[in-house]
Amino acid sequence: MKPTTRNTYANTDRQRVLNFVQSLSPTPAESPYLACILKKSGLSMRDAKLLLEYVARRAAETPLQRDSVALLGLPSLPHSLRQEASQ
């Protein structure tokens, strides 16, 4: 049986996610868990849930700043469009 080859792609968003997580200033207790998740080559749904819980907890404490969200490279809606969408 011929071994199968797997295409490998550079994870171009890994650094963006790392920068975003670091901009939220994880506590010393959170840092080891986040580091463990972010060093993996793939994320499980459990990992994704933990990351989302972390971001939600930080956002509940202090609103996320545009600068930190911009680190992810995600588009953001202008403030007026967000207000219209929420009405």
3-state secondary structure of 70: helix
CB 74 within 8 A of CB 22: no
DSSP characters over 11-66: -TTHHHHHHHHHHT---TTTHHHHHHHHTSSS--HHHHHHHHHHHHHHHHHSPPPH
Q: Residue 68: what pLDDT?
A: 78
Average pLDDT for runs of 10 along the chain of length 87: 60 81 90 90 89 89 79 66 56
Q: Residue 15: what pLDDT?
A: 84
Q: Residue 18: what pLDDT?
A: 87
Q: Which long-range contacts (CB under 8 A, 24 or more apart) does 72-79 make?
A: 72/13, 72/16, 72/17, 72/20, 73/13, 73/16
